[in-house]
Amino acid sequence: MQSFLLVGLGGALGAMSRHGMGLLLGRWWSGGFPLATLLVNVLGSLLMGMFVGTLARLLPPHQEELRLFLAVGVLGGFTTFSSFSLDTITLIERGAWIEAGTYVFLSVVVCLIGLYLGLLVTRGGL
Within-domain flag for 95: no
Q: Is residue 9 part of a domain?
A: yes
Which residue would you say has higher pLDDT here, 80 or 19?
19
Q: Is 38 within a domain?
A: yes
For residue 33, the enclosing domain spans: 2-79
Amino acid at 109: V
Residue 98: inside a domain, yes or no? no
Residue 87 in contact with residue 103, Cβ under 8 Å? yes
Domain assignment present for 99: no
Binding residue ranges: 76, 79
Q: Could you tell me the CA-to-CA distances from 48 to 45, 57, 94, 124 in Å, in that order?
A: 5, 14, 18, 39
- When divided into structural domains, the chain yields a total of 1
Q: What is the pLDDT of residue 83?
A: 85
Tell me what percent of the residues of the chain surpass a pLDDT of 70: 98
Query: According to the model, what pLDDT value does residue 106 have?
Result: 94
Task: Report the share of the chain in percent with pLDDT over 90.
Answer: 59
Q: Tens digit of pLDDT for each residue in 43-94?
A: 999 999 998 888 888 877 778 898 899 999 999 999 988 889 989 999 999 9
Cβ 99 vs Cβ 91: under 8 Å? yes
Residue 97 pLDDT level (bands cut at 50, 70, 90):
very high
Point out the annotated binding site for Na(+).
76, 79
33 lies in some domain: yes
For the chain, the average pLDDT equals 90
Q: Is residue 101 part of a domain?
A: no
Residue pair 85/108 in contact (Cβ under 8 Å)? The answer is no
